[in-house]
Amino acid sequence: MIIFENVTKMYDGNIGIENVTVKIDKGDFVFLVGPSGAGKSTFVKLILKEVDGDKGRIRVNGMDVTGISNRQIPRLRRSIGIVFQDFRLLPNKTVEENVAFAMEILHISSRTIRRNVPQVLGLMGISSKSKKYPHELSAGEQQRVAIARAVINNPTVLIADEPTGNLDPDTAWEIMQLLEQINRRGTTILMVTHAKDIVDRMGKRVIAIDKGKIVRDDRDGSYGYESEEAYSFRCKPGGVFDNNVY
C-alpha cells in the first residue's frame, strides 16, 4: 500500500512533483504514465527514499517513509520489489546467485534459498538459465531474472520502472503477463511506462502525471489523449520513445 499526502519535491527550484496526493491500495495494478520530466521518476525515487520530499507525507507498507532514518532504508527497500528498464543484475553473479542475493541480505538459510530460488526461476520460465551470467542472456530473459529477484521475498509492493522499455513487443507482452500473474497473487504493482498499447491493452488503473501534478487517475485504464504532434514525435524513427512503438 502506497499513500502520498500533499507531497512536494523541488530540485534547485525546478518542480519534481508538486502537492501530490494519491492512494494505491493493496492488490492494485497501477500504471504511472506521463511525458519525460513529468515527475514519474521522482515519484518512484520518493517511494524508495532515494530522494527526500520537501513537504507532505509518504507511507509505504505502513512505514512512514518521510520519517525514517538512513539506516532504516534497507528495511524499506526489502519490503518493495523493484524492476528496472536496464535490469540492473549483478554482472559477476549467475542467474541463481542474482536471485539468491535478495534472500541472502535477509540472512535466510541457504537451505531455504536452495529450495526457493529454483521454484521462482521455474515460475519465470528460466530454469534452464540458472547457471548462466546476465551477459549470456537475452534482454527478455534478463528482465525475467530481475523480476524473479524482485518477487523472491514476496514483497507486498512491486515497482516496475519501464520494465518493457528495452524489449521487443512480444517479449514485452510476456513480461506483462508475468506481472499480471504476480498481481493476481496479491502483490501491489506500480508500473512506470510510456508504452501506450500495453496500458490500453491491460485495462488497469492509470495515473497520469504532468509537470509534477497528477492530471488524471482513471480506473478505466487507457493511456489517454495524445496530441497528434506528440504522437508523431514519439513514433519518429530513432525518436526518444522509438523502442516503445509497436
Partner 1 sequence: MFIRGIGNAVKLAFVQIVRNRAMSFASLFSITAMLLVLGLFFILIVNVNMVTESAKKQFDTIQIYLAEETDRTDAQRMIQSLSGTKGVAKAWYLSKEEAMDEYRQKWGDKSYLLDGFQENPLPNSIRVKITDLELADSVVEAAKKLEGIEDIKYYRTAVDKLLAVTGYIKTGALAVIISLIAVSVVVVANTIKLTVLARAREISIMKYVGAGNWFIRGPFLVEGILIGLFSSVVSVLLVGLIYHKLAELFGNDILLIFSVVMVPESFLAANLLRIFMALGVSIGAFGSIISMRRFLDT
Choose which of 54, 67, 105, 119 interacts with partner 1 (CB under 8 A): 105
Given 23, 26, 55, 75, the residue binding partner 1 (CB under 8 A): 75
92 near partner 1 (CB under 8 A): yes
- Cβ–Cβ < 8 Å for 179, 198: no
Helices and strands (DSSP H and E) totals, the chain: 8, 10
Q: What binding mask, one character per residue, do residues 21-60 give for partner 1 by CB under 8 A, x or -?
A: ---------------------------x-x----------
User: Binding of partner 1 at residue 104 (CB under 8 A)?
Assistant: yes
Q: Is 69 in the site for partner 1 (CB under 8 A)?
A: no
Residues 133-172 that bind partner 1 (CB under 8 A): 149
- Copy the grid coordinates of residue 56: 507532505
Instruction: Please identify, using beta-carbon distances, which residue of 79 and 166 lies nearer to partner 1.
Output: 79
* Cβ proximity to partner 1, 3 vs 76, nearer residue: 76
Nearest approach, Cβ of 36 to partner 1 (angstroms)? 21
Cα separation, 79 vs 81, in Å, equals 7
Pick from 14, 36, 70, 227 the residue near partner 1 by CB under 8 A. 70
**What's the maximum distance between 2 C-alpha atoms anywhere in the chain?**
56
Q: Is 61 in the site for partner 1 (CB under 8 A)?
A: no
- Distance in angstroms (rounded) separating the CA atoms of residues 41 and 59: 17
Q: Is 89 in the site for partner 1 (CB under 8 A)?
A: yes
From residue 14, how far is each of 10, 39, 78, 210, 211 by CA, in Å? 5, 11, 31, 13, 10
Taking the CA of residue 76 as centre, how many other CA atoms within 13 Å lie in the half-sphere pointing to its CB? Answer: 24
Q: Considering only CA atoms, which of 232, 210, 164, 177 is closest in space to residue 32?
A: 210
Residues forming contacts to partner 1 in the complex (CB under 8 A) are 48, 50, 70, 73-80, 82, 84, 88-92, 101-102, 104-105, 107, 109, 149
